[in-house]
Structure 1
Amino acid sequence: MEKYELIAPCHFGLEAVLKREIQDLGYEVSEVEDGKVTFLGDAGAIVRANMFLRTTERVLLKVAKIKAVTFEELFEKTKALPWEKYIPQDGKFWVAKANSVKSQLFSPSDIQSIMKKAMVERLKAVYHVDWFEEDGASFPVRVAFMKDVATIGIDTSGISLHKRGYRQMISKAPITETLAAALLMLTPWNKDRILVDPFCGSGTFPIEAAMIAANIAPGLNRNFLCEDWRHLISRKHWYEVREEAQGMINLSVDTDIQGYDLDPEMVKGARENAERAGVDKLIHFQQRDIKDLSHPKKYGFIVTNPPYGERLEDKENLPSLYETIGERYQALDSWSMYLITAYQDAERCIGRKADKNRKIYNGMIKTYFYQFLGPKPPKKKRSSADEKIDLCNRQ
């Protein structure tokens, strides 16, 4: 079966998380760059990457990497690419997005127009036609210029993969599903540990955590653009991967995941979102103020996206809010806290310097993922039955 190069874009600063995800799926990573990971796989890998990757925005089928410093050069090199390998005669094709960094060709609209013309010329010669109806499957092309080198790929996903299909109620400052999943995967949290989000908004952190705990594939309840690419990806691949994803789900998992918000409408919406995601039985949502945050158990996790003054009228309340966060965290014995915020004085107001700090761009906003690490829980004592099983296995 033919091997392709596939490109998975992600948030800047989270490439290592995505790389690990891809490797866990069994695919070879060929390149890691700022904001994207390239890997090798067959047609089945396109399906599985769209279905199972939690931290990428989309999956691109890489066509080529070319260098171009003039529009004439861009036209000729685009025209020389084997577009017929991917796009059938009735395919609908266009350059959906172009961006350019530190390159001589910097106008996105001109790049898009020139490349579309070149693709048309190539396919006219191959298919011996003068006009394309473009009434078949869609093949949106994306091109990214970096220092005069263009990476060209065809989008296999369609609607961004952060849209899992469950989130209809959205908070004022939402965090995307892909970013929430990536941040959770940066922590040592697992399904056996307590997780609380005291600013849950539309419920994204708790819902993504519950989907991870129950092993629910993020792409299970949505469709993908490349499902119509029947000349490249057989229907059998889709049936098999959906069946694989269904078989992995474990809704009987024992979890302690909680989401709080001061706004009752947000709590109601978060519950509805969780129900659409199929994890409402795994999460406890409640209307609660941050000042009332408490938990009787040890070794839990706070993972949250607190307000950081997007509106001017909110900024004056931030110092007292973050002081309260610090006070409530200090009262939680042996807990860890992970919060993403753009608020510059977060550490000072919390009253403790973070053990780790990672810069992450949430959209166009530069944020920091502050990591306050609590102690590890003691290892559980092994039962005599477990020891007997180990002894038998060694013999």
Structure 2
Amino acid sequence: MASLQLIATCPMGLEAIVAREIKELGYEDMQVENGRITFKGDELAICRANLWLRTADRVLVKMGEFKALTFDELFEGTKALSWPDWIPESGEFPVEGRSHKSQLSSVPACQGIVKKAIVEKMKQRYKREWFPENGGRYVIEVSLLNDRALLTLDTTGPSLHKRGYRKLVTEAPLKETMAAALIQLSRWRPDRPLYDPFCGSGTIPVEAALMGWNIAPGLRRHFSAESWPRVSEELWEQAREEAYDAVKDDIPLEITGSDIDPNAIEVAQAAAKSAGLAKELKLKVLPVAKVHLSGESGCLITNPPYGERLGDKDEATFALRDLGSILLTEDSWSTFVITPSKQMEHYIGRPANKKRKLFNGRIECTYYQFFGKGPLYSRDSK
């Protein structure tokens, strides 16, 4: 198998988490940049990364990168790349694009130039003038930044946050990838209780259970590259067998989610059932003011109402106050809250041990981390 340049994309602020996940898969030769991690791997790495990365958005093949100040430079640079090594003559290859701080600012024009250049390259290999594009899908992106063009192939298809277990959603749901990132940042372990008092559609509890049992998040879905001859069916079977062998479903879990909205709990229960975790999660209708935390060393991880999206800032404020009131006397539990509010430390009654800026969708938030008295937080945080 060939040595490839692969790119895992992610939201700003999660690069270090994605890089750690890639390293845990065994790929250590990487470069971390804003919103993406470039790493070396082979075709099997495409399968493993898609199946296992919990906090990345997509896995791309880096086809090439070059300076492009003119359309001629963009055309020739694109044509020089090895497109027929990936795309068969029946392949469908739409071109997407974006441009920032570059001379070539017209995205539609850049897309057209790239498409034309790839067609010319395909003509040379396949000795034909027309391509039906009725086979597998190969989405190409041309990304221009500071007059440099980056050409990639998307191996993933629908974003990695679409695990396949969530058929229904509540209003303003938390993405699965962001939920996984919040859990990883908390350093929760499956031998500790976890509680989400604003669980909504159940994303944090379900993601925690998947992590607790070491279940690859992509096991229940398919990916664009599964139809590519270059990434064989045998490689996908190998990667899936590795993932199934890695499952540790004999570990007892104590994961609870609650919400004041009965409809949200119904959605959460449906997601847990779809993920095969219905018996492992406790999901109940309960206002946050009545939440009781039991146990000596648990993690409360939550995404409370914001007001901006749900249309009721007063409700969001009351929710944070109620959350703060139940935590004032629970100094053994560690609390992790993602919110755009600047008042979280006031409601909790003490400064956060750590604060991290994250974007939940397009909303700039702070991830407040209040460490409990347990031994887990005696060492430096991730």
User: Which TM-score applies when normalising by structure 1?
Assistant: 0.92
Deviation readout 1:59-113 (Å, 9 max, x if unpaired)? 1011011111222221221122221121111111121x32222222223222212
Count residues with an aligned counterpart: 377
**Amino acid of the residue matched to residue 14 of structure 1?**
L
Quote how far apart the aligned CAs of 1:278 are.
1.1
Selected match of 2:243 from 239, 242, 245: 245
TM-score w.r.t. structure 2 length? 0.95
Matches of 1:378 and 1:135, distance apart in 2: 54
- Three-state SS of the structure 1 residue aligned to 2:87 is coil
1:274 corresponds to: 272
| Other-structure match for 2:28 | 28
Of 66-75 and 20-29, deviating more is 66-75
Matches within 5 A, 1:130-145: 130-145=129-144
Q: CA deviation at 1:311?
A: 4.5
Partner of 1:169: 168
**Superposition map of 1:1-395 within 5 A:** 1-95=1-95, 97-230=96-229, 232-311=230-309, 313-377=311-375
* Secondary structure in 2 matching 1:332: coil
Moved more, 141-150 or 307-316: 307-316
Shift of 1:9: 0.3
TM-fit CA distance, 1:240: 1.5
Aligned to 2:380: none
Unaligned runs of 5+ in 2: 378-382
**4+ residue stretches of structure 1 with deviation over 6 A?**
none
Distance 1:337 1:69 in 2: 50
* Greater C-alpha radius of gyration: 1
* Secondary structure at 1:371 match in 2: strand
Deviations 1:5-52 (A, max 9, x none): 110001111111111111111012321000111111111111111111
Bigger mean CA deviation after superposition, 331-340 or 101-110:
101-110
Letter in 1 for 2:226: E
Cα displacement (A) at 1:306: 0.3
Shift of 1:378: 8.6
Q: Deviations over 1:201-238 (max 9, x none)?
A: 000000000000111111111111111112x1222111
How many angstroms does 1:338 deviate by? 0.6
3-state SS of 2:97 partner? strand
The residue number in structure 2 matching 1:385 is: none
Moved more, 130-139 or 318-327: 318-327
**Contact map agreement 2:170 2:267 (CA 8 A) in 1:** no
d(CA) in 2 for partners of 1:344, 1:107:
39
Q: Which amino acid aligns with 1:226?
A: A
Q: Distance in 2 between matches of 1:119 and 1:151?
A: 14
Once the two structures are TM-superposed, the CA of residue 321 in structure 1 deviates from its matched residue by 2.3
Which letter does structure 1 place at the counterpart of 2:234?
K
CA distance in 2, matches of 1:325, 1:115: 52
Distance 1:227 1:312, change over 3 A: closer
Q: Structure 1 CA distance, aligned partners of 2:124 and 2:255?
A: 58
**2:333 is aligned with what amino acid?**
W
Amino acid at match of 2:123: K
Q: In 2, Cα distance between the equivalents of 1:216 and 1:378? A: 23
Q: Secondary structure at the match of 1:44?
A: helix
Matched residue SS, 2:58: coil
**Separation in structure 2 between the aligned mates of residue 313 and residue 113 of structure 1, nearest angstrom:** 41
- Shift, 1:312, TM fit: 7.7
Range with bigger deviation, 349-358 or 4-13 = 349-358
